[in-house]
Amino acid sequence: MRPFSAIFVPDELAEALSDRAWLEAMLEAERALVNAQSLAGLVPAHAATAVTEVLRAELYDVGQLAAEGRAPGNPVEPLVRAIRARAGDAHAEHVHRGATSQDILDTAAMLVATRALRFIDAELAATADACARLTAEHRGTVMAARTLLQQAVPTTFGYKAAGWLAGLVEARSSLTALDLPAQLGGAGGTLAAMGDTGTEVARLYASELDLREPVLPWHTRRGPFAELAAALSMTAVAVAKVARDIVLLAQTEVGEVSEGDGGASSTMPHKRNPVQAVIADACARHARASAALLVESGVHEHERAAGAWHAEWAALNGALAAAGGSVAALARSLDGLEVDAQRMRANIASATLSEAERFGLAAEQPEDYLGSTDAFIDRALALYRGAR
């Protein structure tokens, strides 16, 4: 639904969020279920093997599943029917046994998110690397600190980049701290159809999937989505802060940075637009909005929500796509960002020194008024190294 999506969302990420990727994740959940039930003795081993053989994505038509999913309101119901048909009468009863659609879809959501987060993390690492380089390289590059967009006192570009770096590292930490759970509760969250082995199956299921085993089923307790939303919006904010600063520093009248291959204009070939920073900013807006919708959709009635659950799927995909798009665009912006140290120095209006003067200090060299920037730079770089 995003027009010209490739402008904003890298192909690899788009692939990780595609219907095909969701189908594969749903099949993985079904596979983990039957394997767990086999290990727990609920399903004979040969039956589990027979079932897993038909759990291959190429056997199913994603478009058809979506179309058939409109009547039951989700794609799991037609998928389970299709799997059972392929498994044949002998094994149909071992497919999706004791599970509910939401078990499969919630688990798939966690798997899809896990893979998309890998992409996002790699791009975020690239942005951090770039900021660390800028921090180190421009430790002594004097420029004006600007408050309310007015020049205030001297600072260095290295220190500005250190602030960007700290934000990106913190965002990355919030993403890597996520510990996403599997979902298995059955129709009412009670695992009633699994007899005495319910919790054991749930443990094995999570283990098969390499997801966390939750304390209880979380069909209507949407902490995992809220935590994803929080980490993705923190990421979007950290990215947008850098992007906004780049756009401001790249203004014609400021001219302190420029994107290596600034965007062409259809009418104005002389311009060198900070396009990737602009894309990062646009994507970050979407990421925050999708994340807020994910939180807003977190109030679920009784044992399965009538609307809020269905709203989560696109909100999650949207938040991952947009957050990832923003990070990737910032990585492109920072990659080869040109810094004009001379212009930075030249732009310092004499006014910016008066603060220093007010404290009785001489004012000939802005370098004399950099305070603790070096110490703070060291701390940011240490934070960065610690997070790698």
Q: Pick the binder of its own copies from 207, 244, 335, 345 (CB under 8 A).
A: 244
Site for its own copies in 18-47 (CB under 8 A): 19, 22
- Total residues contacting its own copies (rule CB under 8 A)? 165
Residue closer to its own copies by CB (options 35, 318) is 318
Structural tokens at position 57: 């994505």
The per-residue DSSP string of 127-191 comes to HHHHHHHHHHHTTT-EEEEEETTEEEEEEEHHHHHHHHHHHHHHHHHHHHT--PBP----TTSS-
Residue closer to its own copies by CB (options 162, 182) is 162
Q: Is 212 in the site for its own copies (CB under 8 A)?
A: no
Structural tokens at position 257: 């940075």
Task: Name residues whose C-beta falls within 8 Å of residue 118's C-beta, 6 or more positions apart in sequence.
Answer: none
**Nearest to residue 293, comparing CAs of 307, 320, 311?**
311
Q: Is 342 in the site for its own copies (CB under 8 A)?
A: no
**Nearest to residue 163, comparing CAs of 146, 178, 151?**
146
Q: Pick the binder of its own copies from 45, 59, 85, 192 (CB under 8 A).
A: 192
Q: Pick the binder of its own copies from 31, 86, 304, 345 (CB under 8 A).
A: 304
Residue closer to its own copies by CB (options 299, 362) is 299
Do residues 323 and 120 lie in contact, with contact meaning Cβ atoms separated by under 8 Å? yes
Q: How far is the CB of 42 from its own copies (least distance, A)?
A: 11
Give the single-character DSSP code of 305.
Answer: -
Terminal-to-terminal C-alpha distance of the chain? 36
Residue closer to its own copies by CB (options 38, 317) is 317
Q: Which of 5, 56, 70, 265 is catalytic?
A: 265
Q: Is 310 in the site for its own copies (CB under 8 A)?
A: yes
Site for its own copies in 114-143 (CB under 8 A): none
Q: How far is CA 215 from the centre of its chain?
A: 25
Q: In whole angstroms, what is the distance from residue 341 CA to residue 337 CA?
A: 12
Site for its own copies in 282-301 (CB under 8 A): 282-286, 288-293, 295-301
CB atoms within 10 A of CB 310: 13
Q: Pick the binder of its own copies from 91, 115, 139, 146 (CB under 8 A).
A: 146
Site for its own copies in 65-94 (CB under 8 A): 65-67, 69-77, 80
Q: Is 279 in the site for its own copies (CB under 8 A)?
A: yes
Do residues 251 and 221 lie in contact, with contact meaning Cβ atoms separated by under 8 Å? no
Residue 304 is among the residues annotated as catalytic for this protein: yes
Element (H, E) at 346: helix 341-347
Helix ranges (H only) for 70-156 are 76-91, 101-137
Q: Is 327 in the site for its own copies (CB under 8 A)?
A: no
Q: Is 250 in the site for its own copies (CB under 8 A)?
A: yes
Q: Which of 81, 133, 212, 304 is catalytic?
A: 304
Q: Which residues are catalytic?
A: 265, 304
